[in-house]
Amino acid sequence: MPLSANILQSLHSIVGDTGFVTKQSEIAPFLVESRNKFHGKCDALIKPATPQEVAEVLAACNDHDIPVVPQGGNTGHCGGAVPNGGILLNLSRLNHIREIDALNATISVDAGCILHNIQTAADQAGLYFPLSLAAQGSCQIGGNLATNAGGIHVLRYGNTRELTLGLEVALPDGRLWNGMRALRKDNTGYDLKHLFIGSEGTLGVITGAVLKLSAKPKDHATAFLGALSPADLMEVFALLREQFGEELTAFEIMPRFGLEISIKHMTGTRDPFHTPYHWYAVVDIATSRPDSDLQSDLEDALHPLFDRGFLQNATVAQDMEQANQLWALRENMSEAQKREGGSIKHDVSVPVSKIAEFIEETSHMIGNIVPNSRICAFGHMGDGNIHFNISQPEEMKKVSFLAHWNDFNEIVHEMAEKVGGSFSAEHGIGQLKTEEMELFRGGVELDMMRALKQTFDPNNIMNPGKVIKDTKGG
């Protein structure tokens, strides 16, 4: 049902002209998700400028049973920020850094702050905010919190959840919860912030956050490694972790196919080696010790790995420019994959010890169904998070390949679960994986989630149909 003139007028009076958009041509760019898989619709795009405005908008929508879809930078991969009616609540005007307390090593921010701006503000204060992902120039911290984003430094610093001390949240009934406490210890009953982190906008709208900052790394080294198999790279990972402990900040893997398409499609990239290898890893170590020489430490640590047959080749970046070039090979891969025709993508996690088995067996099963499928299983090996992406065979029609969507999902997700993993690692559920939620998290777990949803949002106005299937009317 379209929104009535009365309700549109109330929303307009809350957010004013700048925050109120009903012209469909102006709304259209906000309705498509980054992978172009989901296309939405809504009656109004509402952009509040303060937490109070967010709360008032929710109160008005709750009174009239109007669905509200919170939206950050719209870089999510699961269609979570794509509306199917009602209003789209875009947080981009809520974008102030509220306070940096350098002594407490914390930063308080509005939820609509772009991740990169938070990193910069921390840097200017002589500190470091470690959350880092390729979308950091456009994703917002509210979106990172709502999806509990991971990225490349989880190995050392944890997911967004581990970086968060306090939250401010507008509840569906229009109340504003101020949990903006900058405390590392606060055992006062249930830790409510954790309910909203990772809830993908289904329980309330995050309007502010207090985030932990860390000491700035003073020295840093990057290596690009060539190996025969994921099993060999797992050995390399384990040995580097033993040697460097928490100074090992990233360990990312990619197959030859991933490197090839990065080089083919992205200008300014080149193969770091003269010989091709089946598998590669990008490794980062960093320290805040002032007297270190990580570049030579890393070179020394890699030598014995050749003798033991785990490594075939390695290059250690000599400066930041070279390090960025090596990282670009990994970071550009998703973009490059878009230019290789149809692809079916997955974001799973498995215990690190099971990665090789998972990749090998799953690849084999996919190949049995569509021979010559080009498998691009890459990602955050250090966190057990594999993006098991499959590109169509070159000779196959895109539409015929994409017809295997459900079969491939079943294989990949069931294999992940079989080895003790999860069908959703860091991207969340959105509207993409609600079936899998029923399948793999049914029973007690889903019952508890439904009970929470019912408690916080009895009218089911918050992002209905996302994460768990609609709670109202079944």
- How far apart are alpha carbons 316 and 106 in whole angstroms? 33
Among the listed residues 201, 226, 272, 421, the single contact to ligand FAD using CB under 6 A: 201
Q: Minimal distance in Å, beta carbon 133 to ligand FAD?
A: 4
Q: Given its phi and psi angles, is residue 213 left (phi above 0), alpha (psi -120 to 50 degrees) or beta?
A: beta
Q: How many CB atoms lie within 10 A of CB 428?
A: 25
* CA 13 to chain centroid: 35
Identify whether the C-beta of residue 316 lies closer than 8 Å to the C-beta of residue 295.
yes
Smallest separation (angstroms) from ligand FAD to the CB of 393: 25
**In the beta sheet, which residues pair with residue 166?**
210
- Write the interaction track for ligand FAD spanning residues 328-367; mark x where CB under 6 A is met and - where it is not: ------x---------------------------------
Among 135, 180, 250, 366, contact with ligand FAD (rule: CB under 6 A): 135
Residues 1-40: x/- map of binding to ligand FAD (CB under 6 A)? ---------------------------------x------
- 237 vs 348: CA distance, rounded Å: 19
Q: What is the DSSP letter of 419?
A: T
Apex 380 CA angle, 377 and 386, nearest 5: 35
Site string for ligand FAD, 395-434 (x = CB under 6 A): -------------------------------xx--x----
DSSP 367-379: HHHSTT-EEEEEE
User: Tokens 């009317």 identify what position?
Assistant: 473
Enumerate the β-bridge partners of residue 386.
Answer: 348, 379
Q: Quick one: 34 or 315, whose CB is closer to ligand FAD?
A: 34
CB 309 to ligand FAD: min, Å: 31
What the block records as the tokens of 340 is 């290789």
Residues with Cβ within 8 Å of 343's Cβ and at least 6 positions away in sequence, in order, are 337, 376, 389, 390, 391, 392
Spell out the alpha helix ranges (H) of 351-433.
355-369, 398-402, 405-418
Closest to ligand FAD by CB, 161 vs 256, is: 161
Closer residue to ligand FAD (CB): 79 or 226: 79
* Residue showing tokens 């890459």: 378
Nearer to ligand FAD, 112 or 226 (CB): 112
Q: How far is the CB of 465 from ligand FAD (least distance, A)?
A: 11
Considering only residues 62, 92, 108, 140, which one is a binding residue for ligand FAD as defined by CB under 6 A?
140
How many angstroms separate the first and last alpha carbons of the chain? 20
Contact range with ligand FAD by CB under 6 A, out of 174-182, 198-206, 292-300, 399-407: 198-206
137 token code pair: 């120039």
Rounded least distance, CB 229 to ligand FAD, Å? 24
Of residues 202 through 221, those in contact with ligand FAD by CB under 6 A are 205-206
Binding mask 49-88 for ligand FAD (x = CB under 6 A): --------------------xxxxxxxxx--xx-------
Binding track over 99-128 against ligand FAD, x by CB under 6 A: ------------x-----------------
- Binding status of residue 312 toward ligand FAD by CB under 6 A: no
The distance between the two most distant Cα atoms of the chain, rounded to a whole number of Å, is: 75
Q: Footprint of ligand FAD on this chain (CB under 6 A)? A: 34, 69-77, 80-81, 91, 111, 133-135, 139-140, 142-144, 146-147, 149-151, 200-201, 205-206, 334, 426-427, 430, 463, 466
